[in-house]
């Protein structure tokens, strides 16, 4: 009996050690990842992140990305947010890196609409706008009504407009119409109008609202009210 109990205790000990051995890399990865992901989330929310903090976060995420899809996604977002002149060599290299990481991430998490949108942005930044079309459409298909993101999403769509097929153009028009619909809060609509005005996209929005005179009128009224 004592021998049987001893064997059972030894077996449980081996099992416990094995569980710790399997789980320990994940625990270490999470502990290292969380502070870096807080930096990325701060940046995503629109708050300022210093370059040293961003550099440190990217260095950490680079080391843990092979063990964490979330870290891979956040590293790509951080690479796209790094300060550098548009169309510069550094910007292109970072966009290349971000696109690779996002494609790897999406192979395991294909329903992340934000990651698809980020991939479209990365492809545009690496001067490969044609490759951005399908990720752009996927982001809309997976999340057709993200109110707070309608401004930059429509901006991205207008950037890709010459390359969009009929389906993509219809998707973009529906996004613009949605931005001016009664389902969207007025302050969100005001943010949308500020965004498109600031980007010089107002005439393109007017064209997209050509078949919706009510939404077109609301858009014009908001432009006047915000000036």
Q: Let me know whether 120 and 156 are in one domain.
A: no
pLDDT at 113: 93
Asked whether residue 118 carries a pLDDT value surpassing 70, the answer given is: yes
Tally the domains of the chain.
2
Residue 79 in tokens: 């690479």
pLDDT at 83: 54
**Distance from C-alpha of 221 to C-alpha of 71, rounded to nearest angstrom:** 43
Which residue, of 105, 120, 143, is where some domain finishes? 143
**Distance from C-alpha of 143 to C-alpha of 97, rounded to nearest angstrom:** 25
CATH of residue 70's domain is 1.25.40.10
Residues sharing a CB contact under 8 Å with residue 141, sequence separation 6 or more, in sequence order: 171
Which residue, of 94, 120, 143, is where some domain finishes? 143
Residue 104 in tokens: 């790897």
List pLDDT tens digits, range 75-94: 888 888 865 445 566 888 88
Asked whether residue 223 carries a pLDDT value surpassing 90, the answer given is: yes
- Between 91 and 23, the higher pLDDT residue: 91
Residue 177 belongs to some domain of the structure:
yes
pLDDT band at 58 (very low <50, low <70, confident <90, very high): confident
Mean pLDDT (the chain, rounded) = 80
**Distance from C-alpha of 3 to C-alpha of 99, rounded to nearest angstrom:** 58
Residue 36 belongs to some domain of the structure:
no
Instruction: Compute the C-alpha angle 206/194/199, nearest 5°.
Output: 70
- Structural domain for 218, as ranges: 144-227
CA of residue 122 relative to chain centroid, distance: 10
């Amino acid at each position: 009996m004592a021998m049987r109990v001893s064997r059972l205790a030894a077996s449980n000990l081996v099992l416990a050690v094995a569980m710790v051995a399997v789980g320990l890399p994940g625990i270490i990865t999470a502990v290292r990842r969380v502070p870096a992901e807080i930096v990325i989330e701060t940046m995503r929310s629109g708050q300022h992140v210093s370059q040293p903090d961003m550099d440190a976060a990217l260095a950490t995420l680079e080391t843990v990305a092979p063990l964490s899809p979330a870290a891979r996604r956040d590293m790509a977002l951080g690479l796209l947010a790094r300060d550098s002149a548009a169309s510069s060599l550094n910007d292109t290299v970072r966009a290349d890196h971000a696109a690779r990481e996002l494609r790897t991430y999406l192979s395991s998490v294909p329903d992340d609409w934000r990651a698809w949108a980020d991939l479209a942005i990365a492809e545009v930044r690496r001067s490969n706008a044609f490759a951005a079309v399908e990720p752009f459409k996927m982001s809309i298909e997976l999340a057709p009504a993200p109110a707070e993101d309608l401004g930059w999403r429509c901006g991205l769509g207008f950037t890709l407009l010459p390359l969009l097929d009929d389906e993509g153009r219809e998707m973009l028009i529906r996004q613009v119409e949605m931005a001016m619909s009664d389902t969207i809060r007025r302050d969100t609509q005001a943010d949308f109008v500020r965004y498109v005005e600031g980007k010089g996209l107002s005439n393109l929005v007017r064209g997209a609202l050509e078949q919706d005179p009510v939404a077109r009128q609301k858009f014009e009224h908001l432009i006047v009210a915000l000036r």
